Chains A and B, each alone.
Chain A
Amino acid sequence: MLEFVIAGLVLGGIYAIASAGLVITYTASGILNFAFGAMAFFIARFYYYLHTEHSWGILPAAIVAIGLAGPIMGIFLYAVLFRYLRFNSPLIKVVATVGLLVAIPALATIIFGSGAILQAPGLAPEPVHVYQFLGVPITLDDIIVYICVVATVVLGAGVLRFTEVGLKVRAMVDSPAMTDLSGTNPDLVSGGVWAVSVFFAGLTGVLAAPIIGLDPNKFTVLIAAAFAAVIAAKMRSLPIAVGVGLLMGIATSLAERYLPSNSQWSGEIIDAIPFIVIAVVLLYSLLRRGRMGDVERVGGALDRAITPQGESRLAGSTSGALESGSLGLISKYAGPFLLIVAAGALPLIVQGYWVGLTAAAFAYAVIFLSWTLVTGEGGMLWLCQITFAGVGAITTAELATTHGWPVLAAVAVGGVIAMLMGLVVGLLSIRLGDLYVALVTLTFGLLVENLVFTLPSFVNSGLGLTVNPPSFATSSRVLAYLFLGIFVVIALFILNFRRSTSGLAMNAVRWSDPGARTTGVSVVQMKVTVAALAALVAGIGGGLLAIQQSTIAPGTFDTFLGVVWLAVLVTIGIRSTAAAIIAGLSFVMLPALAQAYLPTWTGNIPPLLFGLGAISAAKYPDGALAEQSRRFRNQLLRLADRQKPPLVIDTLSGPALADDAVGTATGTAQSAVAVGKAP
Chain B
Amino acid sequence: MSEPILKIEDLDVRYATSQALFGVSVDVAPGSVLAVLGANGAGKSTLARAISGLVRPFGGRVVFDGRDITGKSAHHVRRLGLTYIPEGRGVFPGLTVIDNLKMAVAQEKRNDRAPAIDRAIDMFPVLGSRRSQLAGSLSGGEQQMLALARAVAVLPKLIIADEMSLGLAPQIVEAVFQSLEETRRAGVTIVLSEQFVHRALSLADTCVILSRGRVGWSGPASEAGTEVIDRYLGDAEHPAPAAS
Contacts and interface: CB of A to CB of B under 8 A. Distances in A.
A306 B103 contact: no
A654 B88 CA distance: 25
B9 to A, nearest CB: 21
A658 B106 CA distance: 34
Contacts of A185: 73, 75
B17 A671 contact: yes
Interface stretch (A61-69, A172-180, A473-481): A172-180
B59 to A, nearest CB: 16
Contacts of A175: 92-93
A659 B43 contact: yes
Contact of B41 (A178, A181, A183, A658): A658
A159 B119 CA distance: 27
B103 A302 contact: no
B103 A671 contact: no
Interface stretch (B49-57, B62-70, B171-179, B216-224): B49-57
Contacts of A308: 15-16
Given A306-B54, A659-B41, A167 B74 contact: no
A663 interface: yes
A170 B94 contact: yes
A311 interface: yes
A117 B101 CA distance: 53
A184 interface: yes
A456 interface: no
Ordered nearest first, which 6 A-B pairs have the shortest CB separation?
A651-B18, A180-B74, A183-B78, A183-B107, A174-B94, A308-B16
Interface string B204-231: 0000000011000000000000000000
Contacts of B99: 167, 170-171
A173 B94 contact: yes
A308 B44 CA distance: 18
B85 to A, nearest CB: 8
B40 interface: yes
Contacts, number: 122
B91 interface: yes
B102 to A, nearest CB: 6
A661 B99 CA distance: 31
Contact of B103 (A182, A301, A305, A653): A182
26 contacts: A167-B95, A167-B99, A168-B106, A170-B99, A174-B93, A180-B54, A181-B54, A181-B84, A182-B75, A182-B104, A183-B78, A184-B103, A302-B87, A306-B49, A651-B17, A651-B18, A657-B41, A659-B42, A659-B45, A662-B41, A663-B15, A663-B55, A666-B16, A668-B16, A668-B17, A671-B18
Of the listed residues B15, B40, B95, the one surrounded by the most CB atoms of chain A closer than 10 A to its CB is: B15
Nearest to B43: A659
B79 interface: yes
A296 interface: no
B107 A184 contact: yes
Given A164-B106, A182-B106, A659-B45, 6 more contacts: A164-B102, A167-B106, A171-B99, A181-B75, A183-B78, A652-B18
A546 to B, nearest CB: 47
Contacts of A168: 103, 106
Contacts of A305: 45
A666 B14 CA distance: 11
A662 B55 CA distance: 12
A513 interface: no
A652 B20 contact: yes
B132 interface: no
A666 B55 contact: no
Contact of A662 (B20, B84, B102): B20
B137 interface: no
A357 to B, nearest CB: 44
A300 interface: yes
A165 to B, nearest CB: 10
Contacts of B244: none
Given A306-B55, A659-B46, A183 B92 contact: no
B86 interface: yes
B88 A302 contact: yes
A667 interface: yes
B19 interface: yes
A218 to B, nearest CB: 38
Given A182-B106, A183-B107, A184-B75, A177 B86 contact: yes
A7 to B, nearest CB: 39
Contact of B90 (A174, A178, A186): A178
A173 to B, nearest CB: 7
B16 A659 contact: no
B40 A183 contact: no
Contacts of B150: 182
Contacts of B79: 183
Interface in B153-204: none
Given A167-B102, A171-B103, A651-B19, A178 B73 contact: no
A171 B103 CA distance: 8
B15 A300 contact: no
Given A171-B95, A657-B41, A659-B40, A183 B75 contact: yes
A627 interface: no
A605 B148 CA distance: 56
Contacts of A657: 18, 41
A182 B79 CA distance: 8
Interface string B16-40: 1111100000000000000000001
A465 to B, nearest CB: 53
A77 B84 CA distance: 31
Interface string A650-679: 011110011111110011100100000000
A655 B219 CA distance: 30
Given A167-B102, A302-B86, A658-B40, A178 B54 contact: no
Nearest to A656: B41
Contacts of A306: 49, 54-55
Contacts of A668: 16-17
A564 to B, nearest CB: 34
Contacts of A164: 102, 106
A612 to B, nearest CB: 26
